Structure 1
Amino acid sequence: MADYDFTYAHITTAHPSKSQTSTIGADSVILVLVNIIIFLLGVSGNGIVIWISSLKLKRSVNTIWYLSLAVSDFIFCSFILFSIVYMATSAWPFGLFMCKFTSFIMFLNMFSSIFLLVIISVDRCASVVFPVWAQNHRTVKAASVLVALAWIVSVALSVPSAVAHSHETVSFSRFVCGFLIPFVIITLCYAIIVLKLKNNQMTKSSKPFKVMSALIVTFFVCWLPYHIFVLLEVYDKPNKSNIVRTGLMVSATLASANSCMNPFLYAFMGKDFKKTCWSSVLSKIENAMDDDVGTST
Structure 2
Amino acid sequence: MTNMTEEEEKEQDWGFPLSVTIPCGVVILVLILLAVFGNVLTITAFVKDRGLRCVYNMYLLNLAGTDLLLGLVSMPFYAVYTLKSYAWPFGYHFCKAYMVIDFALCLESILTIIIISLDRLLLLKYGPHYTHRETTTVAIVKIVLSWIVAISLYTPAIIGWDLWTGEDTVEEGDCDVQFAYDLAFTASTAVVEFAIPFIAIGILNLLIYIEIRKRSRISPTSNDQVSNAQDKNRKDMKAARFLAMLVVVFGITWAPYTVTTIIISFCDTCVNEHLYEAFNWLLWSKASLNPFLYAYNSARFAKNFKQILFCRRTRHTPVVTTVSTGNSHSQT
- TM bin, normalised by shorter chain, reads 0.7 to 0.9
* Contact 1:129 1:193 (C-alpha < 8 Å) held by counterparts: no
Letter of the 1:86 counterpart: Y
Alignment-derived partner of residue 218 in structure 1: 249
> For residues 3-82 of structure 1, what are the structure 2 equivalents within 5 Å?
25=16, 28-58=21-51, 59-79=53-73, 80-82=75-77
Q: Secondary structure at the match of 1:130?
A: helix
Q: What's the Cα RMSD here?
A: 2.6
Aligned residue among 91, 97, 101 for 2:97: 101
Alignment-derived partner of residue 261 in structure 1: 289
Alignment-derived partner of residue 139 in structure 2: 143
* Contact 1:61 1:143 (C-alpha < 8 Å) held by counterparts: yes
| Residue 87 to residue 224, structure 1, CA distance change in 2 (3 Å) | same
Q: How many residues align?
A: 264
- Higher Rg: 2
Question: How far did residue 137 of structure 1 move?
Answer: 0.2
Taking every aligned residue pair, what percent have the same amino acid on both sides? 26
Please give the alpha-carbon distance, in whole angstroms, between the structure 1 residues aligned to 2:50 and 2:272.
Answer: 45
Q: Which runs of 5+ in 1 are unaligned?
A: 1-20, 288-297
Aligned residue among 230, 236, 242 for 1:205: 236
Q: Which runs of 5+ in 2 are unaligned?
A: 1-11, 162-177, 217-231, 316-332
Q: Secondary structure at the match of 1:87?
A: helix
Please give the alpha-carbon distance, in whole angstroms, between the structure 2 residues aligned to 1:76 and 1:279.
Answer: 25
Please give the alpha-carbon distance, in whole angstroms, between the structure 2 residues aligned to 1:82 and 1:103.
Answer: 11
Greater helix share, structure number: 1
Normalising to structure 1: TM-score of the pair? 0.80
| Residue 104 to residue 29, structure 1, CA distance change in 2 (3 Å) | farther
Aligned residue among 131, 149, 154 for 2:127: 131
Normalising to structure 2: TM-score of the pair? 0.72
Alignment-derived partner of residue 170 in structure 2: none
List structure 1 segments (4+ residues) > 3 angstroms apart after TM superposition: 26-31, 279-284
Alignment-derived partner of residue 166 in structure 1: 179
Letter of the 1:68 counterpart: N
Question: How far did residue 70 of structure 1 move?
Answer: 0.8
For residues 228-256 of structure 1, give each alpha carbon's deviation from its aligned partner in whole angstroms, at most 9, with x where no partner exists.
Answer: 1101111212xx24x43222111001001
